[in-house]
Each structure stands twice: as C-alpha cells, then as structure tokens.
A and B are shown apart, each in its own frame.
Chain A
Amino acid sequence: MTTSDERIGEVVLEVKDLRTYFVTRWGVVKAVDGVNFNIRRGETLGIVGESGSGKSVTTLSIMRLVPSPPGHIVGGQVLLEGEDILTLDEGEMEQVRGSRIGMVLQDPMTALNPVFDIEDQVGEALKIHKGLGGQALKDTVIDMLRKVRIPAPDVRIKDYPHQLSGGMRQRVVGAIGISCDPVVLIADEPTTSLDATIQAQYLRLLRELQESTGVGIIFITHDFGIVAKMCDRVAVMYAGKIVEQGDVRQIFNNPSHPYTEALIQSVPKMEETEERLYSIPGQPPALWDLPQGCSFAPRCRYSFDKCLEEFPPDFAVDQGQHAACWLRESEGAALGVAASD
C-alpha cells in the first residue's frame, strides 16, 4: 500500500502530548508519557510495541476508558475532527464511543456477551446512536453482518457467540466496531487469537471496509508482519513514549531508532533462512523504575554517555519521519512537541 494515493484525506484524529499516569504503591507509573500522533481519513496507523509499552493505554485514553483510580489522564489533547474529546463530560463521551470512534478488541470471546444473541449485540450501538428500532434495526444488523461476510446473516443473527467459530466471532466484533460508521476505528491486536488463514481473511476484510468507508484505522500490534501488510504509517512505542514515527517504508528501509532496528532484525523472516537472529539483550524496563536518560539505553548496542544522562527529544530524520535518539542529533534539528505533526 502507498501513502501518497488520494484515498488518504484530512486529519480526523489528532493526539497531542497525551499523558496517562497510574498511581500505584510502587510510585507513579507513566504508562503514556507525552504521545503525539495523528490519523487521516482512509489511513492506517500502526502503533507497535511490546507489552507494557503503553500502546493499549494510549487507545484506552482516547476512548476515555482508563480505569480511574488508579489511572488518570493528566495532560494533553485528543482532537476528534477538531474537537477535544478529553474535555467532554461523560454523557457527551458516550455519544462518541462506539459511534464516531469504533473499537475492535483482541479477544472476541470476552468482547462478546455470551447471554445475548448476535442481533442484540450488533444492534445495541445502532439503537443507542442511530435511534433505529424494529425492522429497520434488524435489516441494518443483517446488512452489517453481510458486510463482514457472515454467511446466511438472516439466520445467523439469532446465534449466540458460542455457536460461532473464532474467525466468525471476530467478524461480529468487527461488525459492532463499524456499525455506526465511525471516523476512527481502533483495532487492538484483533487477529492475535486467529489462525493464519483466518487472519488473512480478516485483514483483507478490514482493508475492504476501509476502502469503502474511508475510516481511519489505528492498529495496535506487536507484529511487524501486520505492520508491513496493513499500515501506511508506524509509531513505535517503548516505555510509554513514541520513540520513532514515520511512513511504513521509511521504518522498514531506514529504521532510525535502535529499538526499531533491533525489533525488525530480531523477527525471523519467512522468505529466507537466516543464520542467526539479532536478539535484544535484557527486557523491557519496569515503568515505575525507569532508567535516567533514554529508557532503551541499557539494552541499546549503540548507547553512549549522553544516552544515560538525558532523554533525547524527537529529531527529524526524513520527511515525516522522526526518532527520539541522540544518534540522530547531528542529522536533524530537534522537534518541539507541537512540530511533531
């Protein structure tokens, strides 16, 4: 996929300096610590990171679903078509969730309620947000199920989740996510529990839905294969911060943060036999006990004195690509927070 074609339109969601902290007995955990990105109509942004990197808390913050206490969104803005949804009250926020921002979660078994049939669950958002009822609601639900390729949708709407296979369940969750024609769809590792051939079907479906509706997709994943296949742009998260962001080809051809480079090198390739993989030493740091300086420095093969002392700002590397790494200091001017879009 290319980023330059005309299917990509105006910015629909802009996240500015988002900070979500958790107060725990070990101290303040900065799960999301100054995150900036935006997403355009028809575009797919991949947020890549390991567990604990803050990628899921970022999306929960956008949806304002961070459990509080202990979590608090302590700063930043989330502009949905220009409007800061962090300032909305709970009632107004309910009009956003499931309507203007849709969500597809990882585990379709827990995302669906086992005691309601498919019609109730897909219809719920349509009832609340679009005020549909009766036959019109039923027809719309059937139409949604047809869109996500559920065979015989007029019969299947009476099924309960346990009567569907994993792939079908995930498609039902997808149908709920897009039912109210959202401007942004957040997909949080939607295919990790699926088999390879079913995953391929599902990814193709998401892409077709995007082509027909122009929805902007935020794809949360730890898998660079999904990024390579699905995403136009990539944000790599480590320890609560985006350490590199850029166009998908820039990231693969010229990874500019050592973490991005190491991650790509440590994944085996199906296309060739490798002698030995690069393996990143150590493990991700505990967020309540981050090292001074760059969080990745203790695991980084290029780190030098400055890395251990001071956290690097974003440096521009290329058009639209920037990395928070002191190695890039000589290449580009430091970007301010506001300049990163």
Chain B
Amino acid sequence: MSTQNGSNSALLRVQNLKKHFPVGSGFLSRNKAMLKAVDGINFEIETGKTYGLVGESGCGKSTTAKLILHLEEPTEGTFFFEGQDATEFNREGMRNYKASVQAVFQDPWASLNPRMRVGGIIGEPLEVNSTMTKGAIKSRVGDLLEEVGLQQYQANLFPHEFSGGQRQRIGVARALALNPKLIILDEPVSALDVSIRAQIMNLLEDLQDEHNLTYLLIAHHLATVRYMCDKVGVMYLGRIVEEAETEELYDNPLHPYTRALMSAALPSHPDIDREEIILTGEVPSPVNPPEGCHFHPRCPSRFEPCEDNAPVESHPVPDHRVVCHLY
C-alpha cells in the first residue's frame, strides 16, 4: 500500500481516474471502440464537507460513483481514501473500506428489497459486517430509525407500506448503519415529491453535522447542488471541466459549458430573466468524442485551437480550476 502526500485533510483523493468500456460489434474484431465514461478526473473531498459532481446524463458522474464504491474497477488511475490507495487494498483493507463508504441511491422504490422487512434491510449491513448479537442489532436499528425521523415499530413493516420520502429515510438509515465516513449520494432527492425534498436535504445536513460525515453528491439539479455542496465539479463527457468552491463557481462561472448550464437552469422567480445561452445540438457520444476540446462543437465561444488541441487545466482565480482555451 502506498501512502501519498497531498493535503492531509482530504478523506478522498481521486487521481487521474479513468473507466473505459469496450463497445461495438463483433466479438472477434480486434479494434473495439472504447466508451470513455470517465476519462481522467482529479478531485479531493475534505472530511466533513460535501463535494458535488454535476453534469448532464452520460457525463460520467454515476460511473465515478460506482468506481469509488468499488462496483466497477478503474481502467487507469487510482483514488486514495484516508491517504491509502483504494485500488490496492488487501481483503481486510477492502472490508474496512466498504464499511466506511456507503451510498444512498436515487430511486427509493428500486433500492429497497420489497420482500424484506425494514428492520432486516437496515440491519443487514450490521449482520454481515459486525459481530453484534441479534438483540444489539435490533436496538441499533431502532436507534437508526429514530435518527432518520421514523419510529421504532416501523422496523416490522415492509417497504411498500412507506411513502417515497419515508423510503428514502430508510435508505439513509441503512447507509448510516455501519458508521461510515463517506456517503455517496446519487441523486438522493430527484425522485421525490417537491414538498419532501427539503425534508431529506435537511436530514442529510443534520446527519452530516452530527456525525462529521463526508458526502459526494451526484446531481444534475444546480439549485440542489448549491444548497448542499461546499465545492462543485462540473463534468462533461467524462472530464471535470471546471471546479471551485460553491459560491465562487455559481457567482463566477468560467467555462462556457458551466455558463450554458447555469443559463439553462430554471429561474426561482418570474422576474428573473436570464440571458439563455442555447447550446446547439446534444451531448456527443462518449464512444467517439470530438477532437480537441470535447465541448467545441457546441461551444458558443470556440476559436481556432479548440478544434485540434485539448485544453489544459488553468487557475485563472486561486482555487478555481477550469479546462478551457479561453483561460
């Protein structure tokens, strides 16, 4: 296991992470096309903070989550958890890692086993990963249910007996069971009713304060990300094109793609009339991304170098990185 330098407070440090999937026809063909779902991303999350990854569908944000959960193995690159290389864990190290990193998923209808009682769903990670007795697990499940705003007796019910918001609370309780350090939130509120979203977001904030939890939030809704996150990375076709502290990013977006995303976001009041930067076309396929800057065919500010040369990262403002030829 290698220990790495870098800032000491980073709980998770992702370094040049790549995930390429082979696609295409013919099992005998040698030159398989590669779908570059994640194509060399770097970011750090500090303990107790929330990092947001935003982007449209197909940008690679969910694949990133899967890589960090070890549900997919990276093609290249690595990530460090508490300074240790997470791709080189031994059995014991992996066991600890998987207990320390948990996830809450988008769809509370699909992510809970309909044939298990809620107590079993929340208690399962404890059964598998700890030496607790049945009685101890039962009382821990009761505590967890109360912590997420449900009641102890509800451990005996089945998922279908709950509403969407309550099911998401069950998902959160399950994620908390093993006292994790990092929780990956993959679109945790987008499947919920509007009046319920704020409840779940506030619950997640409270739990973070109480347990010093670190969150990686995967989302497409810019306002949700602004409310929840300390730092945000914007992804486009497998790459992080811009990253900054939340306030800085929203007040001073630099990359033309970030600007277009923000201009397309819905206003919170009818009098807000943002100038819309309408992007032409749709996100190109990650199998055959455009040469040069991936964004150039849709970019309103493209100029000569964009077509041929991939831009490199720059820091026009301290702690604000952007990958664009304009800077």
Interface residues of A (CB under 8 A from B): 1, 50-51, 165, 167-168, 195-201, 204, 222-229, 231, 248-249, 252, 262-263, 266-271, 273-274, 276-281, 283-284
Contacts and interface: CB of A to CB of B under 8 A. Distances in A.
Given A267-B194, A270-B223, A1 B202 contact: no
Contact of A268 (B227, B247, B261, B263): B227
Counting from the closest, the 8 A-B pairs by CB-CB distance are A225-B266, A279-B198, A200-B264, A268-B227, A266-B198, A195-B56, A270-B223, A269-B268
Given A196-B261, A229-B267, A269-B268, A277 B282 contact: no
A277 B270 contact: no
Contacts of A248: 270
B98 interface: no
Contact of B268 (A204, A224, A284): A224
Given A197-B278, A273-B246, 19 more contacts: A1-B270, A165-B282, A195-B56, A196-B222, A199-B264, A199-B266, A225-B267, A228-B272, A252-B270, A266-B194, A267-B197, A268-B201, A268-B223, A270-B226, A270-B268, A279-B199, A283-B193, A283-B195, A284-B193
23 contacts: A51-B193, A167-B282, A195-B56, A195-B57, A198-B56, A204-B276, A222-B194, A224-B268, A225-B265, A228-B269, A228-B272, A229-B270, A252-B270, A267-B194, A267-B198, A268-B227, A269-B223, A270-B223, A270-B266, A274-B227, A277-B201, A279-B195, A283-B163
Q: How large is the interface on B (under 10, 10 to 19, 20 to 34, 35 or more residues)?
A: 35 or more
A280 B195 contact: yes
B40 interface: no
Contacts of A271: 267-268, 272
Interface of B: 56-57, 163, 165-166, 193-199, 201-202, 205, 220, 222-224, 226-227, 246-247, 250, 260-272, 276, 278-279, 282-283
Contacts of A201: 278-279
A165 B270 CA distance: 30
A139 B267 CA distance: 38
A196 B276 CA distance: 12
Tell which of B57, B166, B263, B267 has the most Cβ of chain A within 10 Å. B267
B219 to A, nearest CB: 11
A103 B222 CA distance: 29
Contacts of A227: 270
Contacts of B195: 50, 262-263, 266, 279-280, 283-284
A166 to B, nearest CB: 8
- The B contact surface, by secondary structure, is helix
A187 B267 CA distance: 19
Contacts of A279: 195, 198-199, 201-202
Nearest to B227: A268
A248 B201 CA distance: 27
B261 A273 contact: no
A195 B266 contact: no
Given A270-B265, A277-B198, A197 B56 contact: yes
Contact of B56 (A50, A196, A228, A273): A196
B266 A222 contact: no
A276 B202 contact: yes
Contacts of B250: 270, 273
Contacts of A224: 194, 268
A266 B199 CA distance: 9
Contacts of A1: 270
A50 B195 CA distance: 8
Nearest to B250: A270
A226 B223 contact: no
Contacts of B260: 197
Contacts of B278: 197, 200-201, 204
A167 B166 CA distance: 32
A266 B197 contact: yes
Contacts of A197: 56, 260-261, 264, 278-279
B264 to A, nearest CB: 4
Contacts of B199: 279-281
